[in-house]
C-alpha cells in the first residue's frame, strides 16, 4: 500500500513538470515573435516575390516602411502571436516528453544524460505534434505577409478573415495546406535546434554549477546558436512551405512538385532565398526564446 502514495506523487510531479514545460514554452515563443517578426516578414517576402521585385533584404524593409510605415514590419504578426503560445508550448512540452520517452525505452542505460543523437531524436519528435498548430498559423501568417507587397488592395482584414476564407475555399484541407512541408522543415530543424542548445549550454556552464541555476550568458549564446543551427538546414523546405501556402489553389500538387517547379523557374539558388534575414533573425529571436523559457521555468519552480 505504501507504493500507492509514492506512485501518485510521481504522477503529480510528472504532470506539474509537463505544465511548466508547456507554460514556459509559450512565454519563450512570445519573446521570439516580438524580437523576430520583422526579420521573418522580410524572409517571407523575399521567398515569395516574383524575381526582380526586390534587390535584397534592405530593399524589402525600405519598401515596407515606405508603404505602411514602421507598423508595416509587423504585418501578419497577429497569427504568430495568437498561435505562438500553443506552438512553442507544445514544442517544448513535446521535447521534454520525448526525452522522458527515450529514457523509459532504455531502462538499462548507465547514464541518465542523453547523448547528442538522443537529444536530436527528441527534438525531431517534438515537431510532429506541434505541426497541428504550426501549419494553419503559418498559412495565415504567410498570406497576410505577402499581400502587403503588391500594389492591389488588402485582400484579408485579419487572421480570422484569412481562416474563414480558407475554410470556405477548401475546408480544413485548405487551412492545413503546407503541413508536409512544415514537418520537412521543423523535423530536422528541431533536431538541430534542441541538440545545439543543450550541447552549447553545457559547454558554457561552469563546472559544478547547478543545472537549475540561471546562467544568462550561456542561455543567450546557446539559444542564439540553436536558432542558427536550425535555420542553416531549414531554409530550403521553408522556401517551399512559403510558396505552397501563398500560391493560388492548384499551383502545386505537393512538396516535390513545388521543389521541381521552383528549381525549373528560378534555379537551385531560389531554395536559399531569405537565408540572410532568417540568419539575422535566428540569433536574437532564439536567444530571447530560451531566455524566456528558462526564466519563466525558474519562476514557476519557485511558486509551483
Helices 116-146 and 216-246 meet at what angle, rounded to 10? Answer: 50
Tracing cell 505552397 back to the chain, one arrives at 244
Rounded Cα distance, 291 and 24, in Å: 10
Q: Report which of 243, 263, 268, 265 is spatially closest to residue 253, judged by C-alpha positions.
A: 243
Four-residue CA torsion sign, 274, 33, 114, 125 = negative
Domain coverage including residue 251: 3-181+242-302
Q: What is the pLDDT of residue 118?
A: 97
290 in any annotated domain: yes
Structural domain contains residue 226:
no
Q: Tens-of-pLDDT digits for all 304 residues of the chain?
A: 445 566 666 677 788 889 999 999 999 999 999 888 898 889 888 888 888 899 998 999 999 899 889 888 888 888 778 877 788 999 999 999 999 999 999 999 988 899 999 999 999 999 999 999 899 988 988 898 888 666 554 578 878 899 899 999 999 999 999 999 999 999 999 999 999 999 999 999 888 777 667 788 999 999 999 999 999 999 999 999 999 999 988 999 999 999 999 999 999 999 999 898 889 889 999 999 999 999 999 999 888 7
**For residue 219, is it within any domain?**
no
Please report the pLDDT score of residue 266 as a whole number: 93
Closest CA to 79 of 145, 20, 32: 145
Listed in order, strand segments (DSSP E) in 117-241 are none
CATH code for the domain of 84: 1.50.40.10
Q: Phi then psi for 273, rounded to 5 degrees?
A: -65, 140
Whether 218 is covered by a domain: the verdict is: no
Instruction: With respect to residue 191, please indicate whether it lies within any of the assigned structural domains.
Output: no
How many domains is the chain partitioned into structurally?
1
Question: Cα dihedral angle (304, 300, 132, 116), rounded to 10 degrees?
Answer: -110
For residues 18-56, one letter each, b for 16 or more C-beta atoms within 10 angstroms of the residue's C-beta and e for the rest, the string is: eebbbbbbbbbbbbbbbbbbbbbbbbbbbbbeeeeebee
Kindly tell me the burial class for residue 171, based on how many C-beta atoms sit within 10 Å of its own C-beta (0-12, 13-18, 19 or more): exposed
- Residue 236 in any domain: the answer is no
The answer to whether position 92 is within a domain reads: yes
CB atoms within 10 A of CB 206: 8
In a domain, 196, yes or no: no
- pLDDT given at position 156: 85
Amino acid at each position: 500500500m505504501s507504493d500507492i502514495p509514492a506512485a501518485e506523487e510521481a504522477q503529480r510531479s510528472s504532470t506539474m513538470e509537463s505544465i511548466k514545460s508547456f507554460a514556459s514554452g509559450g512565454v519563450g515563443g512570445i519573446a521570439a515573435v516580438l524580437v523576430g517578426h520583422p526579420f521573418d516578414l522580410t524572409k517571407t517576402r523575399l521567398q515569395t516575390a516574383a524575381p526582380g521585385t526586390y534587390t535584397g533584404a534592405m530593399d524589402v524593409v525600405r519598401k515596407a516602411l515606405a508603404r505602411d510605415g514602421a507598423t508595416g514590419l509587423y504585418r501578419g504578426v497577429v497569427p504568430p502571436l495568437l498561435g505562438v503560445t500553443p506552438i512553442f508550448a507544445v514544442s517544448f512540452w513535446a521535447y521534454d516528453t520525448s526525452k522522458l520517452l527515450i529514457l523509459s525505452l532504455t531502462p538499462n542505460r548507465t547514464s541518465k544524460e542523453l547523448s547528442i543523437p538522443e537529444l536530436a531524436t527528441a527534438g525531431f519528435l517534438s515537431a510532429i505534434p506541434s505541426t497541428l498548430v504550426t501549419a494553419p498559423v503559418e498559412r495565415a501568417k504567410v498570406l497576410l505577409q505577402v499581400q502587403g507587397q503588391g500594389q492591389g488592395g488588402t485582400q484579408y482584414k485579419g487572421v480570422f478573415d484569412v481562416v474563414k476564407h480558407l475554410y470556405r475555399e477548401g475546408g480544413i484541407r485548405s487551412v492545413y495546406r503546407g503541413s508536409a512541408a512544415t514537418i520537412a522543415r521543423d523535423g530536422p530543424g528541431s533536431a538541430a535546434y534542441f541538440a545545439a542548445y543543450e550541447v552549447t549550454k553545457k559547454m558554457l556552464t561552469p563546472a559544478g554549477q547547478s543545472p537549475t541555476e540561471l546562467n544568462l550568458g550561456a542561455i543567450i549564446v546557446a539559444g542564439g546558436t540553436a536558432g542558427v543551427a536550425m535555420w542553416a538546414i531549414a531554409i530550403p523546405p521553408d522556401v517551399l512551405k512559403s510558396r505552397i501556402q501563398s500560391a493560388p489553389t492548384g499551383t502545386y500538387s505537393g512538396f516535390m512538385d513545388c521543389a521541381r517547379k521552383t528549381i525549373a523557374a528560378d534555379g537551385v539558388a531560389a531554395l536559399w532565398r531569405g537565408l540572410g534575414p532568417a540568419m539575422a533573425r535566428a540569433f536574437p529571436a532564439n536567444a530571447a526564446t530560451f531566455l524566456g523559457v528558462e526564466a519563466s521555468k525558474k519562476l514557476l519552480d519557485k511558486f509551483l
